[in-house]
Structure formats: C-alpha cells, structure tokens
Structure 1
C-alpha cells in the first residue's frame, strides 16, 4: 500500500480540485451548523445568535445552489450526482482497502451532499415560520402562515435538528473510514484544494 502522502502513485495525478469559494462555503457552513445546533439545543433562551446563524446558512445555501449550476466543474451537481448503477458500482468497491482517487465527490459523497443540503433547506424553512409560543423566538415569517403551520413547524424544526446530527455523524464516520481503512485523506483537499485523482476517470 502506497502511503497517502507519497507522490509515487501509478496512474494518478495531483490536481487543483476544490475552488476557494467552495472551500470557504464548506467550512463556514460547518461552523454555522455547529453554532445553530448548539444554540438550538442548549440556549440561551433568547436565540438571537441561533437566528443570525440561520440567516447565514440561508445565504450559503443560495450560493451553493448557484455554484452547483455555474461554478467550476467539480462543484456542479451534474458532476457528482450519480445514477443508480454508478452508485451501486462504487458502493460495491467501498470495502477495498485502497484509495479511490475520485476526482471530486464520489457517488456516495455526492448523494450525502444532496441529503445535507435538502435537510438544511427543510431546517431553515421550518425555522422561518415556527412559533414556539415563548413570544421571543418566533420565526420572522411566522405571521405569513396559519396557526397550525406555525405550531407544526416547531416539531419539524426539532426533527430537522436530529436529521442534521445523524448526517454530520455519518459524514465524520466516512472521513474516518477513508483515512483509516482506505488510507485517503479527505480533509486536506478541502483545506488546500489539491487532491490526488485517477487519470482519465470520467
């Protein structure tokens, strides 16, 4: 097994994969999700920081939607959203103890990105219209929906927080799996932008 830090790899090359805007989006989103989850679970009672963190998440989601259409190729949804066959083929080789050298989000990672973005859209949407009956932390758009929706949105928001926790846990577990079992570092490329990838892989 060739160490992950070694440049001596047959059939692979080191390329500039992740652009600065995408890397900044990734780390700022991670920070805001952590802040939002902690303040949502543990307070304080006046969750102004929770709200402002959520507003930043909305802006980041809007950016990612645009960047997923017009950004550099590795950032585009069309580049990493895989069909069933490609997904199954990749999953069948996941147990192999060797780096994937995938040029971007692999098929499993690509769908995890979509899942996280979808849950975050759910989360900010429910937060905007939720009314927890405390007269303090009412969503800024709550007055535009009926009372039953405002009340239901509180439960939706709690469910979304649980789903986010699960997805983040799976994300961290996948990073650990790749680092320990497959000898592939997925964190450094998201810091530097550079990644070892298989040549001529479509």
Structure 2
C-alpha cells in the first residue's frame, strides 16, 4: 500500500476568524476608498467603513498574540526566520511557507499600521483638523495594498499554489507541503479577548461620533454646521 495514500490531500492553515478578518478588512478598505469623495454614491459609508476597519485592527492585534498558530506574530516575525528567509532569497532558494512568509508578515504589519494611521488622522479631520495627512497616509496604504496583491499573485505563480484560495478555504495542498500538520487552533480564551478589544474600539468610536456605525453624510452635516455658524456670525455683525 502506498503510504501517501492515507495522507490527507490538504492541511488546515488559516482559522475562520483570520479569514473573516482578512476579507472584512479588504471590504472596509475598498468601501472607504470608493466613498472618499463627497459626490460618491457611497459617501455616507466613509466614516462607518473607517470605524469598522479600526475595530478589525484591534481584533487582529489580539489575534496575533493569542490566536491560531499561523495567525500569531511569533509564527512569522521571529528574527531567525526573517534572516533565514532573506538568506534563501539571496541564494535563489524559496522554500514553500505553510503560513505567512516573513516578508509578507512584515507587509501585513505595515498595512495594519497604515490603516490605524488613516483612521487616527480621519478622527482628527472630524475634529476640525486638516485632511492632507489623512490623504497622504491613505494613498500610502493603497500603494502598499497594491504591492501586497502583486506579491500574492507572483508567489502563487512561482510557488504553483493558489494563495487567494487558501485564504478563502483555510487549507493548503499537502502536495506542496509534505509532512505538514493542521495548525494548532486558538485557545478558548482568544475569541473572548478579541471580542473585548473590538467592543472597546466600538465604544470609543461611538463616544467620538455617536453615528459611527450608522452610515451618514458627514460632509453634508459639516457643511450645514458651517453654514449655521456663518449665519450666526453674520447675525452678530448686523447687531
């Protein structure tokens, strides 16, 4: 009997919370960019998408500490792994990675940081600050996301492995990863901790903006408030 006949055809890599986070963040970023112009049909969703992204970042930070095996930062950001990965690339060798490769992991952290920066500067804009920095960070995020997408496509072709499908199904073929085992699941305490982090961000968001998670035309409201202030100021001058 062929020993490989009893080997499963795929190995579990990404748990459901990690996959949901990934695609929800993709959706939040897409909606935020598509709704960034005041005349966009989605403009009422801009702030809501930003707050959802902030809650997702809080989730991912906690999940990166206590989540499933390959979702943890320690799985792909160890200095020794980064050094080995760079050495392999320099020597023209590329071993297939079951989870994130170290450079991909660094890119993910950078994306999380830029999302957080975009949200933070967006909050400052809501409070009357200038929006130039918000736009600069947002376009930096868009550029890095573009690089990430190109890298995923390139690695899928080079490694003959559909990385996008893996992030949908959570599994990778054992043919590319012989001897691999299913990833260790997150401990039971992980999901409540992550939910607590999301709830904390949601609470903070509603303290800053009571309509944070209700799509609304913030620009129009700001315009009305500005017109009311100008009218009041004009009335004072007339008096």
Is 178-187 or 94-103 further displaced after alignment? 94-103
Q: CA RMSD in A?
A: 2.9
Is 96-105 or 155-164 further displaced after alignment? 96-105
2:45 aligned residue: 49
Change (3 A) 1:174 1:95: farther
Q: Aligned pair 1:20/2:27, yes or no?
A: no
Taking the aligned partners of 1:191 and 1:166, their CA distance within structure 2 comes to 23
Change (3 A) 1:46 1:165: closer
Is 94-103 or 72-81 further displaced after alignment? 94-103
Taking the aligned partners of 1:82 and 1:30, their CA distance within structure 2 comes to 26
Instruction: Note the 1:3-14 alignment, pairs <5 A.
Output: 14=10
Q: Look at both structures and tell me which one has the larger radius of gyration over its CA atoms.
A: 2
Compute the TM-score of the two structures, normalised by the length of structure 1.
0.74
Cα deviation, residue 97, structure 1: 8.6
Question: What is the DSSP-based 3-state SS (H/G/I as helix, E as strand, rest coil) of the residue aligned with 1:129?
Answer: helix
Q: Give aligned pairs, total.
A: 173
Cα deviation, residue 42, structure 1: 6.8
Taking the aligned partners of 2:132 and 2:159, their CA distance within structure 1 comes to 39
Q: Which runs of 5+ in 2 are unaligned?
A: 182-239
Cα deviation, residue 77, structure 1: 1.1
Instruction: Note the 1:109-124 alignment, pairs <5 A.
Output: 109-124=104-119
Compute the TM-score of the two structures, normalised by the length of structure 2.
0.64
Q: Which runs of 5+ in 1 are unaligned?
A: 1-7, 131-138
Comparing both structures, which one devotes a greater share of its residues to helix?
Answer: 2
Cα offsets for 1:36-63 (capped at 9, x unmatched): 0121157439932101111111111111
Instruction: Note the 1:7-156 alignment, pairs <5 A.
Output: 14-41=10-37, 43-44=39-40, 47-83=43-79, 86-94=81-89, 100-130=95-125, 139=126, 142=127, 150-151=129-130, 154-156=131-133
Taking the aligned partners of 1:45 and 1:194, their CA distance within structure 2 comes to 37
